[in-house]
């Protein structure tokens, strides 16, 4: 009887192990970082992904998980996870032509043309997708590193296809996720020690605020929008600022990447008592100048006006951007 029970237990363990290995072979569970797929996917969303083995035919419009090009991977600093993935939408297949708006970082290198006085022509470019290649873009075009920068990618770059979003995990922590998404190489960020870009912007009260105002003291600059994760951390911003700066009374400033009415609504909702800059991505250069790829996040500027540390804010706690400044 004991022998039968033991054999039955071994069979159950074997079957459970087989199912687990089969699941790991066929599926991935990954956590999104960044904002390139807003509004569909938000920073912190967990995804169930079907691994792509090249058997299933690809369809335009699918959300895919890809490996970045080899030259991009070389830009990652030492200490990064062995593999970094991106989540994007498949917008074109082999043989198709894509015309889209260039990313802001490339627009600055293009000559400005005008259709008529005072009207700037959209900076568009066309790409021809070669055989066995794909073209991918983030839904949030203003905040996405994708094929508009890289060009078409080989189909073998696809790791998997998103099946669905999963419920949030109470035990998930970004620091422990090895297949992180939206990790951008250090070449696309301001490195530590870089002089913080000067800025001048109006607050929600109409006052003009400049970086020079904070000369001689550490400044924690929070970048936010009106999305869910920004709202999660705002109530604890003072405590987080002290934690980030490592001192009891740092200067605090918000940069809000939305229009005035939305920024005012956030101030009223959370009773924010520090200055809140109105810096919409479409009309103000602050987010671009600081190479911000997603919200909520932070930058710590030291008393000498140099970038010391930055990273995402996740579930109310700062997560360091290890490509820039390990904590």
Question: Using omega within 30 degrees of 0 as the cis cutoff, is the peptide bond preceding 109 cis?
Answer: no
The total number of residues shown for the chain amounts to 327
Per-residue pLDDT reduced to its tens digit, 271-287: 999 999 999 987 899 98
Q: Which residues are catalytic?
A: 36, 88
pLDDT reading at 257 higher than 70? yes
**Residues contacting residue 232 through CB under 8 Å, at least 6 positions apart:** 315, 316
**What is the enclosing helix (H) or strand (E) of 232?**
helix 228-233
pLDDT surpassing 70 at residue 177: no
For residues 116, 117, 123 and 128, what is the CA-based torsion angle, rounded to 10 degrees? Answer: 20
Which of 92, 88, 87, 159 shows the shortest CA–CA distance to 130? 92
> What are 72-126's pLDDT values in tens digits?
554 443 444 446 788 999 999 999 999 887 765 555 444 444 444 444 445 678 8
Q: Which of the four pLDDT bands, split at 50, 70 and 90, describes residue 4?
A: confident
Given a cut of 90, whether residue 131 has pLDDT beyond it is: yes
CA distance 102 to 124: 6
What backbone torsions phi and psi does residue 36 show, to the nearest 5 degrees? -70, -15
**DSSP conformation class of 253:** E
Please check the confidence at residue 64 and state whether its pLDDT lies above 90. yes
Percent of the chain past pLDDT 70, that is, above it, reads: 76
Contact 116, 109 (CB under 8 A): no
> Which DSSP string do the residues of 102-123 spell out, in sequence order?
PPHHHHTTSPP-EEETTEEPP-
Whether the model pTM is above 0.85: no
| Other C-beta atoms lying within 10 Å of the C-beta of residue 9 | 10
Do the beta carbons of residue 240 and residue 271 sit within 8 Å? no
| pLDDT cut 90: percent of the chain above it | 32
| Ranges 41-45, 143-147, 149-153, most confident | 149-153
3-state secondary structure of 261: helix
Which residues, 6+ apart, have CB-to-CB distance to 283 below 8 Å?
Answer: none
Average pLDDT estimate for 278-300: 85
Task: Give the pair of three-digit tokens for residue 193.
Answer: 């020690």
What average pLDDT is seen over the chain?
A: 77
DSSP code per residue over 159-170 = EEEEEEEEPPPT
- Quick check: 171 pLDDT over 50? no
Which range has the worst mean pLDDT, 21-30, 48-57, 170-179?
A: 170-179
Among candidate residues 224, 286, 232, 283, the one with its CA nearest the CA of residue 256: 224
Return the pLDDT at 57.
85
Q: DSSP alpha helices (H): ranges in 46-160?
A: 70-73, 104-107, 147-150
Residue 72: the pLDDT is: 54
Instruction: Look at residue 250 and tell me whether its pLDDT is greater than 60.
Output: yes
Q: List, in order, residues 6 or more apart from 291 with CB less than 8 Å away.
A: 188, 189, 190
Please determine, for residue 293, whether its predicted confidence score (pLDDT) is greater than 90.
no
- Interatomic CA distance for residues 155 and 80, integer angstroms: 24
Report the Cα 257 to chain-centroid distance in Å. 14
């Amino acid at each position: 009887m004991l022998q039968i029970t033991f054999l039955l237990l071994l069979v159950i363990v074997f079957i459970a192990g087989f199912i687990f290995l089969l699941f790991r072979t066929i599926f991935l569970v990954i956590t999104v970082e960044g904002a390139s797929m807003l509004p569909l996917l938000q920073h912190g969303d967990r995804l169930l992904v079907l691994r792509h083995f090249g058997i299933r035919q690809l369809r335009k419009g699918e959300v895919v998980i890809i490996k970045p090009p080899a030259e991009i991977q070389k830009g990652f600093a030492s200490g990064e996870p062995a593999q970094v993935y991106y989540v994007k939408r498949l917008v074109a297949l082999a043989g198709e032509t894509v015309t889209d708006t260039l990313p802001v970082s490339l627009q600055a290198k293009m000559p400005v043309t005008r259709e008529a006085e005072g009207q700037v022509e959209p900076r568009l470019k066309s790409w021809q997708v070669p055989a066995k290649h794909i073209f991918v873009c983030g839904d949030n075009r203003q905040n996405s590193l994708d094929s508009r920068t890289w060009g078409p990618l080989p189909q073998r770059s696809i790791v998997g296809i998103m099946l669905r979003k999963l419920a949030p995990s109470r035990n998930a922590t970004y620091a422990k996720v090895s297949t992180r998404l939206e990790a951008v190489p250090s070449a696309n960020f301001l490195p530590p020690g870089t002089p913080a870009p000067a800025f001048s912007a109006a607050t929600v009260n109409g006052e003009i605020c400049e970086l020079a105002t904070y000369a001689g003291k550490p400044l924690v600059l929070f970048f936010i929008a009106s999305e869910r994760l920004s709202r999660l951390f705002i109530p604890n911003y003072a405590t987080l600022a002290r934690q980030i700066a490592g001192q009891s009374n740092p200067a605090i400033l918000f940069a809000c990447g939305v229009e005035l009415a939305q920024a005012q609504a956030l101030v009223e909702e959370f009773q924010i008592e520090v200055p809140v800059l109105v810096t919409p991505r479409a009309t103000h250069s602050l987010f671009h100048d600081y190479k911000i790829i997603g919200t909520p996040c932070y930058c710590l500027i030291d008393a000498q006006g140099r970038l010391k540390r930055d990273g995402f804010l996740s579930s109310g706690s700062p997560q360091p951007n290890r490509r820039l400044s390990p904590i």
